[in-house]
Structure 1
């Protein structure tokens, strides 16, 4: 773990993953204030999966692991609600939390070490092939991924975690794993549970 930092949290019923994009509607005063503060200070906030509670109303109980959210873009929807385009960045571990008077949860977090740039191991080659087929069929922002990315263990693991029909608990499990190879091993174990057409393998 790296040095600790105070970070405002946005608990969600979803798990934001490193490198993944997320559109987030913001309408509660505590989160609008948080976004303004991030804009003024050039700072970021964290997204954590909700363990107990809801996304609106009383402060929710966040998971102990989360991901830094960087604001890439913003817009105002037809209903006048602010919509943020977020990008998952660094992983962090929550040490302690407190709730501000406005209901915003603020945490002391320790940053996780960046993923190593290990290459895909032969026993995980199936996962690289699967991701390539998914990107060919689904398109999207990662459709143009080249051989270098498709051979990078961490990148393949996070993109599969993003695109496969995992439960949020499974994504949270991967988020807590520091070793990219171990994340791939977990994904490999879960593959038989997915309805993946044989020709994709």
Structure 2
């Protein structure tokens, strides 16, 4: 387990999907509790925590978040065509929630322990196919970080997180990939899953 650093009272944003370190998140904000969250983060410069929903929904009653999530730093704001606030956020360090509470407006807050970033690990030759598959997926899907493939396709951690993002995994599988703390183990599991997506 990576060493942790404690942090207190972070706003948490439960979502139906997983944000990985280095990934990009685009959200349309309409509920007052989340507008307050965005204002707070814009004012303080602090990130907010993104956790996959274990029980409940993104809107309405407070959802039950997974214990492991990813810090998200807002990088851009915009107003969408329907007049709603839109934000772009980038995934940073992973964390484990140590305690949660719910404000009167339904916003979930949490004390967290952040994990150290995974060290850059050269991609072993036996996982070279995964880097090739990632390049093909990037060509097809054109993710925001597509230009980084040239310089980062030899980083086992980066390749594993990006594949976890682009492959059609179910949310629980994505959460599992997020929680693994060995980049080579993550790649091995992704390699074992690949046959599911091959055309007959």
Common fold: TM-score over 0.5: yes
TM-score range, shorter chain: over 0.9
User: In the alignment, is residue 123 of structure 1 matched against residue 126 of structure 2?
Assistant: yes
**TM-score after normalising by structure 1:** 0.92
- Give 1:20 deviation, angstroms: 1.1
User: In the alignment, is residue 56 of structure 1 matched against residue 59 of structure 2?
Assistant: yes
Structure 2, unaligned runs of 5 or more: none
Q: Which residue of 2 aligns with 1:87?
A: 90
- Give 1:58 deviation, angstroms: 1.2
Q: Which residue of 1 aligns with 2:46?
A: 43
- Give 1:147 deviation, angstroms: 4.8
Q: Which residue of 1 aligns with 2:114?
A: 111
Contact in 1 for aligned 2:24/2:144 (Cα 8 Å):
no
Contact in 1 for aligned 2:5/2:115 (Cα 8 Å):
no
Counterparts in 2 of 1:196 and 1:138: CA distance versus 1, 3 Å: farther
Q: What's the Cα RMSD here?
A: 1.5
Q: Which residue of 1 aligns with 2:36?
A: 33
Q: Which residue of 1 aligns with 2:193?
A: 190
- Give 1:176 deviation, angstroms: 0.5
Q: Which residue of 2 aligns with 1:5?
A: 7
SS in 2 for 1:3: strand
SS in 1 for 2:148: coil
User: In the alignment, is residue 73 of structure 1 matched against residue 76 of structure 2?
Assistant: yes
Q: Deviations over 1:105-127 (max 9, x none)?
A: 11111111111111011221111
Contact in 1 for aligned 2:12/2:51 (Cα 8 Å):
yes
Instruction: Provide the C-alpha distance between the structure 1 equivalents of 2:53 and 2:143, rounded to a whole number of angstroms.
Output: 27
Q: Report how many residues are paired.
A: 197
Counterparts in 2 of 1:16 and 1:140: CA distance versus 1, 3 Å: closer
Candidates 136, 140, 157, aligned match of 1:133 = 136
- Give 1:189 deviation, angstroms: 1.0
SS in 1 for 2:146: coil
Once the two structures are overlaid, the 10-residue window that deviates more, 129-138 or 147-156, is 129-138
- Give 1:71 deviation, angstroms: 0.7
Instruction: Provide the C-alpha distance between the structure 2 equivalents of 1:141 and 1:30, rounded to a whole number of angstroms.
Output: 28
**TM-score after normalising by structure 2:** 0.93
Contact in 1 for aligned 2:70/2:94 (Cα 8 Å):
yes
